[in-house]
Amino acid sequence: MSSAWWRRGVLAAGGFAFLAATVDPGVAQGPPPGFSPLDKTNVKASKQDESLRPHATPPTVTPVEKIPVDKLRLPPGFRAEIWSSGHPGGRTMVRGTKGTIFMGTRLIGRVYAIVDKDGKREVKTLLQGLTQPNGLAFKDGSLYVFAIHRVLRYDNIEDKLDNPGDPVDLTDKFGLPDTIHHNWKYVAFGPDGKLYVQVGANCNICEVNPGTHAQIRRYNPDGSGMEIVARGVRNTVGFDWHPVTKELWFTDNGRDWAGDAGPEDELNRIAKGREGANYGFPYCHAQGLPDPDIRVPNPCAGTVLPAALLGPHSAGLGIIFYTGNMFPPAYKNVAFIARRGSWNRSQKYGYDVVVARTSGGKATIEPFMTGLLDTKKNEFYGRPTYLLQMPDGALLVSDEQNGAIYRITYGPKTAGK
């Protein structure tokens, strides 16, 4: 080994005093407790394959030629193209008023800003080193970033994408639990101007304190006026408001290790005047199944049952109601739901985007974007996570596995996009 280069390094550094200065200041050191000690998972009793484990998300850039856009299948007249790529782990998407697409992530800890430059997308890493900054919302020029319990507001962010500066720290005002598991946030502003915030159950299956976990909350944008709008929600990872009824619809991921068949994930609605209703966790799942590991009398009494089931372990994440004019009228006001795909199931399931047609508090589910799952080989090629409607009516779909966004359009091919 030639050692000249490292000797040079040592000499240039002038000793060892720099060691203490190698960690960036300003970020909390060491995570808080993540997972509830009350978890009652019983893998043996599930009779499932005990070697099932979550799939890894690549933390590095997927080359454009390896992004599986050619595998995507859509109803006639729709087409998909790669809209942007090179943002590993990119999941949630919100659009700023000046057109910036902000993307949240989980383990890689980044927030991206994607801007249009000369008809192409330019990806900037806006923030780095956060703990699972999945929750993003945009209002009045400000980007709200939720990273587990931390809440940071970046004002006039679209004017300073290259140097976002210090945020307004709202963490103490929101007072969210610092438990990590199932608390990579989803947040969104409602039609009432309130900020709606997910607080998941920090376990697979456990008793939770209903005053702190397994909820959807809403706040004033400054973190005041907290109200619980839904209880018994294991882990909602996406919600949106029906464009006509203004009611909140949310996805909820079912528990693991209770069989390959489910309990299925849920699509739920908070009916008008029913804010604070109970959605069953941990006693009652899906269409009214008692939990096998935590047994109580009348487990489903008082529980609001789902509007639709989203499939076993399918991991329904982002949901948006489509209000654009590009797609055929049959898609007006229907919900699109991204299903990230299963891990706790021998035969893989999901990895697609489905349509939910809602009517009278119920919904029917039909396929929309498929092709990322090969059921014969039991292999997947991508994981749709979140959805965004663009001003022209096109639908953006994020693929976390490939760090890419697909643009879904309808009608004749549009040049340059």
Partner 1 sequence: MRLFDRAWLRPLALALAAAIHSGDPAIGQSLSLEERIAQCKACHGEDGNSRLEKIPSIAGQPEFFIVNQLVLMREGVRRIEAMSAAVKGLTDADIEALAKFFANLPARASDEPIDPQLVKRGGELATKLRCGSCHLPNFAGHQQMPRLAGQRVDYLIASLKEYRDNTRSGADTLMSVVVQGLSDADLAALAHYAASR
Binding site for partner 1 (CB under 8 A): 1-3, 5-6, 8-14, 16, 18-20, 22-24, 27, 29-37, 39, 43, 50-53, 55-56, 58-61, 88, 107-110, 128-131, 180-181, 202
Q: Which lies closer to partner 1 via its Cβ, residue 122 or residue 366?
A: 122
Smallest gap from Cβ 186 to partner 1, in A, equals 17
Instruction: List Cα–Cα distances, 409 to 75, 84, 114, 121, 392, in angstroms.
Output: 11, 15, 19, 17, 9
Q: Which lies closer to partner 1 via its Cβ, residue 43 or residue 244?
A: 43
Smallest gap from Cβ 93 to partner 1, in A, equals 20
Smallest gap from Cβ 147 to partner 1, in A, equals 11
Q: Which lies closer to partner 1 via its Cβ, residue 62 or residue 268?
A: 62
Q: Which lies closer to partner 1 via its Cβ, residue 81 or residue 343?
A: 343
Q: Which lies closer to partner 1 via its Cβ, residue 182 or residue 218?
A: 182
Q: Which lies closer to partner 1 via its Cβ, residue 36 or residue 198?
A: 36
Smallest gap from Cβ 198 to partner 1, in A, equals 16
Smallest gap from Cβ 383 to partner 1, in A, equals 15
Pairing of strands 264-270, 308-312: antiparallel
Q: Which lies closer to partner 1 via its Cβ, residue 13 or residue 45?
A: 13
Q: Which lies closer to partner 1 via its Cβ, residue 109 or residue 393?
A: 109
Smallest gap from Cβ 10 to partner 1, in A, equals 5
Smallest gap from Cβ 45 to partner 1, in A, equals 13
Say if CB 143 and CB 156 are below 8 A apart. no
Smallest gap from Cβ 252 to partner 1, in A, equals 19
Say if CB 293 and CB 205 are below 8 A apart. yes
Smallest gap from Cβ 130 to partner 1, in A, equals 8
Q: What does the alpha-carbon distance between residue 295 and residue 297 come to, in Å, rounded to a whole number?
A: 7
Which residues contact residue 209 at a Cβ distance below 8 angstroms, ignoring those fewer than 6 apart?
A: none
Q: Which lies closer to partner 1 via its Cβ, residue 26 or residue 412?
A: 26
